[in-house]
A and B are shown apart, each in its own frame.
Chain A
Amino acid sequence: MGTAVLRLGRAGRYWGYHDCRFPRRTQRTPASPGTAVPTVPVVVSGAGAASATVVEVFDRARRIVLERVSAECLAVGGHGVVAAAVTTAPLAAQPDCLEFKVIGTAVRARGSRVRLTTPFTSHLDGHGFAKLLAAGWVPVELLVGMSIGVRHDDSFSRSRKLSSRNSEISGLSDLVRAVRADARRQLQLHGAERGGNGLILADGGAVRVWKEICTRSTGGDDELSFHDHLAETTLTGSTIAQFDAPPPKKRTLQVLPLGARGGEPHSRPAAAAGSDGQRRRRGVQGDRGAT
């Protein structure tokens, strides 16, 4: 187990992470049809936005905690940690302090006398770990990729919202897309620090979106346009590396369960109105592919 409590310093009134970089005092384009779309930047933490400091704190916390977990694992002679769960929770006594906690089980490799300087860490449970290992893959490091993005709520996106016609709100689509892409990129960057061949995600990474008052707004008649849209997402996963497994690899044993349709009750994601949690059950039950 490793834990660390960090205080998130506030810069200014808000947490200082939503500077939208919307050019101040530009002529706000009137929301009449035919006007050119003003280019409103989407700023994400991975590209040096003000929110980068917050994301950096989270990343620092992850590193500190993983270091402690690793030290504890090495102290008991382990080679790695499986079923590591990351939790982040504000401290009840002081809400501006966050506790980062990783709890997992240290495991030792039989038949290896090599002492690792850094043990592997992974969110995978025993089943997953064993299957991976038997197929010639070893987990490397537990990763957390986070991104916060900000986009100014310009009149363009607003006028669309009020109409009764169908339309995509492209500004918001851009924001959410940028945040997701940034979080993925962060994961890959972190993963490359220690190396590996691939990355298995723990959860799909729900995106949280909300609105804040724009810190760049100077007041005025048009109150609605003084908002920023913010989006935040966190992805958790583990990097894995392929090694030359001693042959012969086992073939997958085919089992057709004669249970509910498809063998996996409630197994397929609803095509719509789904939630991120729904998907976790895929592959958990009805292990047609167990080695």
Chain B
Amino acid sequence: MTKAEPDGNDLAAAAIRRLTGLKPGNPRAIFTSDLSVNEFLLVREAGFRPIGMVLGSSIYHVGLQVGRWSRNQELTTLSQAMYHARDLAMTRMEAEAAALRADGIVGVRLTVEPRAFGEDVAEFLAIGTAVKAGTPPPGGGQWRNSKGRPFTSDLSGQDFWTLIQAGYAPLGMVMGTCVYHIAHQKMSAVLPSLGKNIEIAQFTQALYDARELAMARMQAEAAELHAEGIVGVQLNAHNHRWGGHTTEFFSIGTAIRPLRADHHIQRPTMVLSLDG
């Protein structure tokens, strides 16, 4: 790529000059970043400076709850655990970012990893890169969200850049979870339908309910942040270790607010990629 630059030689020379002038520095003056090179450069171009990788984690013991064999029901103990542990991780990450006086956190990854400590123990982990804006947002105000906390976003650097270009700013990650026990079918219901193609209304209803609950909780969080909408929503089903009929439905996205009234991005250019 540097080949295409007319000033490739100057560029390399300038880089080497910089390397010769390097001096041991203050460890605190070096930012750490969890972003890939593409993301790093785009976040810079969007007007933000990475100031440090931040993370929060919580090792959590998820309690026990067994659903009734033949009933569709939410397992509230488990729902609470999954939400509370993630919330702890996120809050700690935000606290780290706030200590760095960041305006926000980009590229947040929220993961759950089973740990070797025990059967029902998992680590809930949130990692992202804290960023600080060079200038206040156009139209006044601040980059931090309506609660005065650094904004969080699970969008990649690429998506973040596009969002800012189009005149939107992230407010915070919003999530909702629901652990649902799907009833087993009764024998009397199974027998008449043997060998037939039919919809099993009971299962459909259960999946609907569980997803709706998760989505509604996420939307409630966004409403609390006075968001205009939520982008990049993912609605996933995770079957952690609870067996076939107990599933977690987890929805997560980034709540956004408009920065200005007009939202236009450049007309897309068609590109034919030559790689496979």
Count residues of chain A with CB under 8 A from any CB of chain B.
Answer: 94
Contact A284 B36 (CB under 8 A): yes
B63 touches A255 (CB 8 A): no
In the complex, which range does the number of interface residues on chain B fall in?
35 or more
Instruction: Given the known inter-chain contacts A166-B60, A198-B30, please indicate yes or no for A282 contacting B156, CB distance below 8 A.
Output: yes
Is A10 an interface residue when CB atoms closer than 8 A count as contact? no
- A180-210 residues with Cβ-Cβ distance < 8 A to B are 180, 184-185, 187-189, 191-201, 204, 207, 209-210
User: B162 near A288 (CB under 8 angstroms)?
Assistant: yes
Residues B18 and A282 in contact, CB atoms below 8 Å apart: no
Residues in A whose Cβ lies below 8 Å from that of B154: 268-269, 271
Determine how close the nearest CB of chain A comes to the CB of B101; give it in whole angstroms: 17
Is B156 within 8 A of A169, CB to CB?
A: no
A135 to B162, CA, bound (A): 19
The proximity string for B residues 40-53 relative to A, scoring 1 for CB distances below 8 Å and 0 otherwise, is: 11101100001001
Which residues of A have CB within 8 Å of B19? 79-80, 116, 120, 138, 140, 241
A196 contacts which chain B residues (CB < 8 A)? 22, 25, 30
A288 and B158 in contact, given A268-B232, A282-B36 (Cβ under 8 angstroms): yes
Of the stretches B117-125, B187-195, B219-227, the one at the interface is: B117-125
| Residues in A lying within 8 Å of B, measured CB to CB | 79-80, 109-112, 114, 116, 120, 124, 127-128, 130-135, 138, 140, 160-161, 163-170, 172-173, 176-177, 180, 184-185, 187-189, 191-201, 204, 207, 209-211, 229, 237, 239, 241-246, 250, 252-258, 262, 264, 267-275, 279, 282-284, 286-291
Q: Give the interface of B toward A (CB within 8 A).
A: 1-2, 5, 7-20, 22-42, 44-45, 50, 53, 55-64, 77, 80-81, 84-85, 88, 92, 107, 109-113, 115-118, 120-121, 123, 127, 154, 156-159, 161-162, 165, 175, 232, 234, 236, 238, 240, 248, 250, 252, 265-266, 268-271, 273
Can you list 10 contacts pairing A with B, beta carbon distance less than 8 Å? Answer: A112-B17, A140-B19, A166-B63, A168-B85, A195-B22, A201-B34, A257-B273, A269-B110, A270-B234, A283-B36
